[in-house]
Structure 1
Amino acid sequence: MITLENITKTFQTKKQTAVTALNGVSLTVEKGEIYGVIGYSGAGKSTLIRCVNLLEPPTSGQVKIDGVDLTGLSKEALRNVRQKIGMIFQGFNLLKTATVYQNIAIPLKLTGVKEADIDARVKKYLKIVSLEDKHNVYPNQLSGGQKQRVAIARALSHEPEILLSDEATSALDPDTTDQILALLHKINQELGITILLITHEMHVIQQICDRVAVMENGDIVEQGKVIDVYTNPKHLTTQRFVDSIFPSQIPASIIKDLEQQGPIIDLTFVGDAADRPSLSVISKKFAIETNILSGNIVQLKEQPFGKLRAHIKGAASETNQAIDYLKNQGVQVSEVKSIDSIY
C-alpha cells in the first residue's frame, strides 16, 4: 500500500549548508498492517513520515500509495490522494476556541462534506474513541489522552485508508499511552486502516506493530518482523533499543567470581518456550546449579518474548548437556564469553 523508494531529503540551512535528513530510504508497508519506525532523536523518522503525504516533499525518490507516485501528481490530484491519508501528531493540534464537535466538524466542512454527513461522522467517530459525551467540551477541559482521542477521531472522520502517527504517544503517561495504543490496534482491526507510526519507544513497537524499521542518521539500518528484530538484533542501535527493555548489566565483581565456576549464558524465549520452566528443569535433570542474573518477559503483539541472563554452575560435561537440552527445547542460547561483552 505504501512504498518508499530511495527517498532522500536535503535541507538548506541559513548559511546555505546542505543537511541530509534522509539518505536513500526504502520501505514497504502492506495493506492492513501496523508498521513502526523507531529511532533516537535526529534519526530522520519525523522527516520520513512527513514525506509519505508530501507535507515534506522529498528531494529525490518516489512515494507510492497503491502504486501511484505522489511526487508526480498535480496539486489537485495530490489533494484527492491526501483524503485517503489521516495523520495524528504529538501536540494534538486542536483549535482551543472550538468544541470537540467543532474540531472534528470544521475540517470536514472545509473539504466539502455535506452537513448531514458531517454530523453523522462526528458522532460515529467520537463513539469509536469513547468520547461521545464530550462533544460540547473545549480542549482545555480535557486530559492529554482525551485530546489525542479527539485528534484521532478528527483524522478518522475523513475516512482514510492510511493513518500516520507522528510520535502520538510521546507526551502521554504510561497508562494513557497503553490506552491510545489499544485504540490504534482496535482501529486497525475493526476498520482495516493501515497504520504507519514513528516512535522512540520500544514499548510502542512491541505493543501493536507487525513490522519495524530502525533508523539512524537518515538511514534504515535494520527492518523486519518485530519478533525477528527482537530475537536477533544485528545493528548496534537495534541492540540498544532491545537492551532498554532487557537490562543486563551486572557488577564486575560478581561476574569475576561466577565465570570461574561455569558459563554465563543469554537465553531467548519466544512463544510457548517463554511459558516453560526451562531453568528449573535442567537443574533437576543435570548435576548443575542455575542462577538468574537478570531478565524480563514482555508481551509482543501476538506472543510472549523473554530474555534471561543466567549462570550455570557445574562440570563442563554437565553444563554442555544442559545447554544442548535448552536448545532442543526451542530456547535460543548464546554464551557470554567475557566481562567486556556484558557492557
Structure 2
Amino acid sequence: MIVLENVSKVFKIKNKEVKAVDQANMHVKKGEIHGVIGYSGAGKSTLIRCVNLLERPSGGKVVIDGDDITTLSKNKLREARQKVGIIFQGFNLLKTATVYDNIAIPLKLHGVSKEEVKVRTVKYLEIVGLADKHHHYPSQLSGGQKQRVAIARALSLEPEILLSDEATSALDPETTESILELLLKINEEFGITILLITHEMDVIQKICDYVYVLESGKIVEDGTAIDLFTSPKHETTKKFLSAIAQRNLSASLIEQLHLSGPVIRLTFTGDVTGEPMLAEVNQKYTIKSNILAANIMELKNGVIGNLVVHFTGKPSEVDHALRYLKEHGVGVEELRDDN
C-alpha cells in the first residue's frame, strides 16, 4: 500500500546540508498498522510528510497503491492525496468554526455535494463518539475530543490510508488509551491502512503490527512488533523498551545483590507464555532459580513475558536447564555469567 524506496530529504541550513531522512525503505501492507518510533530530532515528522509529499523527497520513490507519486503532475498528485488522510499532534482545527463545520468545510472545498457533506459529517462524528457535539466550538472541547474531531475530519474524506503525526503525544495517558482504541476500531472496521509516528513505545505496543526505529534520519531496525519486543538488536530500540518494562538489571544492582552464578533474561511468547517452564526446569534439574524481575506486556498480536532470573547450581545442570528452555521456545539471554 505504501512503499518508500531509498527516500532521502536534505535541508540546506546556513550553507550546510542536513539529512533529515537518509535512504529510508519501508513497505506498509494494506490494512495493517505500522509505526515509526524515534527520539526528538530523529526525522520522524519529515519522513511522514514525505509520504504524501507535504515534503518533497530529495531522492527516492514514494509509491502509493502502485503509483510513484513523486512523478505525478499537480492534478494527479491532488487525486492521489485524496487516498491519504492525516491527523496532527496540534489538531489543526478552525477555532471560529463549530465541530460540524470543521468537518463540513474541507468536504465542501473538495467538491462534495451538500447532501453528502451532511451525511458524512454526521456519520463520522458518530463513529468517533461526538454525535452530541455538532454545535460546540474547539474551545469547549477537551484535548481528546479535539483529536476525535480531527480524526473524524480525516475520515470524512474516506481515505484508504491514515497518517498520524504524534497524534497522542499531547494527551494524558487515559485519553491516549481511548484514542488508540479508536484507531484500532477504524483499522478493523474500515480496513484503513495506518502509518503513525511516535516517541512513545506504549503506543507501538498497543496497536502496531510492524515497527521501524528511526535515528538521525536512518531506519536502524525494523520488524514485527513481536520480534522487536522480544529480541531488539539496536541500542535505541533497547532504550525505548527499557522505558516501559524492566527487561534488565543494571550491573551495579547485580553487584549490590552479591549474586554468584548466571543472571538470565527469559522471554516467553506465544503458547509458551502460559506454561510453567521455570517450575519444570527446577524439578527436572538440580538447580535453584530466584526471580529478580518480571513483567508481562500485551501487544496487538500477542503477549510477551519477561523474567530476569538468577540461577544457582552446578554449571552443567544450569546449562542443561537453559538448553531445555531454548528447545521449548523460551528466549534465553545471559545478562551476566561469572561461572
Normalised to the residue count of structure 2, the TM-score between the two structures is 0.95
Give 1:75 shift. Answer: 1.2
Give 1:4 shift. Answer: 0.9
Aligned mates of 1:68, 1:290 — CA distance in 2: 56
- Aligned equivalent of 2:290: 291
Aligned mates of 1:311, 1:33 — CA distance in 2: 39
CA contact (8 A) 2:33 2:193 kept: yes
Give the 5 Å matches for 1:34-113: 34-113=33-112
State, as a whole percentage, how many aligned pairs show the same letter.
Answer: 60
Secondary structure of the structure 2 residue equivalent to 1:134? coil
CA contact (8 A) 2:85 2:163 kept: yes
- Aligned equivalent of 1:177: 176
AA partner of residue 111 (structure 1):
H
Aligned mates of 1:182, 1:271 — CA distance in 2: 23
Change (3 A) 1:61 1:16: same
AA partner of residue 6 (structure 1):
N
Secondary structure of the structure 1 residue equivalent to 2:56? coil
- Aligned equivalent of 1:6: 6
- Aligned equivalent of 2:332: 333
Give 1:139 shift. Answer: 0.9
Question: What does the per-residue CA deviation read over 1:224-263, in whole Å, with 9 as the maximum and x for residues that have no partner?
Answer: 2111122221111112122222222346264365542x21
Secondary structure of the structure 2 residue equivalent to 1:133? coil
Give 1:58 shift. Answer: 0.7
Structure 2 unaligned regions, length at least 5: none
CA contact (8 A) 1:312 1:319 kept: yes
AA partner of residue 5 (structure 1):
E
Stretch moving more, 325-334 or 160-169: 325-334
Give 1:286 shift. Answer: 3.0
- RMSD of aligned Cα (Å): 1.6
Give 1:328 shift. Answer: 2.6
CA contact (8 A) 1:46 1:198 kept: yes
AA partner of residue 274 (structure 2):
D
Stretch moving more, 308-317 or 34-43: 308-317
Question: What does the per-residue CA deviation read over 1:110-169, in whole Å, with 9 as the maximum and x for residues that have no partner?
Answer: 111101000000011011111111111111111111111100000000000000000001
Question: What does the per-residue CA deviation read over 1:239-290, in whole Å, with 9 as the maximum and x for residues that have no partner?
Answer: 2122222222346264365542x21111111122222232233333333221
Aligned mates of 1:249, 1:315 — CA distance in 2: 23
Give 1:24 shift. Answer: 1.2
CA contact (8 A) 2:209 2:301 kept: no
Aligned mates of 2:326, 2:251 — CA distance in 1: 27
Structure 1 unaligned regions, length at least 5: none
Aligned mates of 2:197, 2:25 — CA distance in 1: 15
Aligned mates of 1:124, 1:263 — CA distance in 2: 59
Change (3 A) 1:19 1:78: same
Give the 5 Å matches for 1:1-343: 1-13=1-13, 15-247=14-246, 248-250=248-250, 252=252, 254-255=254-255, 258-260=258-260, 262-337=261-336
CA contact (8 A) 2:262 2:337 kept: no
Secondary structure of the structure 2 residue equivalent to 1:10? strand
Aligned mates of 2:275, 2:255 — CA distance in 1: 27
Aligned mates of 1:57, 1:257 — CA distance in 2: 55
Secondary structure of the structure 2 residue equivalent to 1:132? coil
State the number of aligned residues: 337
Give 1:337 shift. Answer: 3.1
Change (3 A) 1:253 1:174: closer
CA contact (8 A) 1:2 1:30 kept: yes
Question: What does the per-residue CA deviation read over 1:203-235, in whole Å, with 9 as the maximum and x for residues that have no partner?
Answer: 111111111111111111111211112222111
Question: What does the per-residue CA deviation read over 1:159-209, in whole Å, with 9 as the maximum and x for residues that have no partner?
Answer: 000000000010111111111111111111110111000011111111111
Give 1:330 shift. Answer: 1.4
Normalised to the residue count of structure 1, the TM-score between the two structures is 0.94
Aligned mates of 1:142, 1:204 — CA distance in 2: 23
CA contact (8 A) 1:258 1:311 kept: no
Aligned mates of 1:127, 1:12 — CA distance in 2: 45
Question: What does the per-residue CA deviation read over 1:51-82, in whole Å, with 9 as the maximum and x for residues that have no partner?
Answer: 01110111111111112111111111111111
CA contact (8 A) 1:267 1:333 kept: yes
Secondary structure of the structure 2 residue equivalent to 1:204? helix
Give 1:319 shift. Answer: 1.9
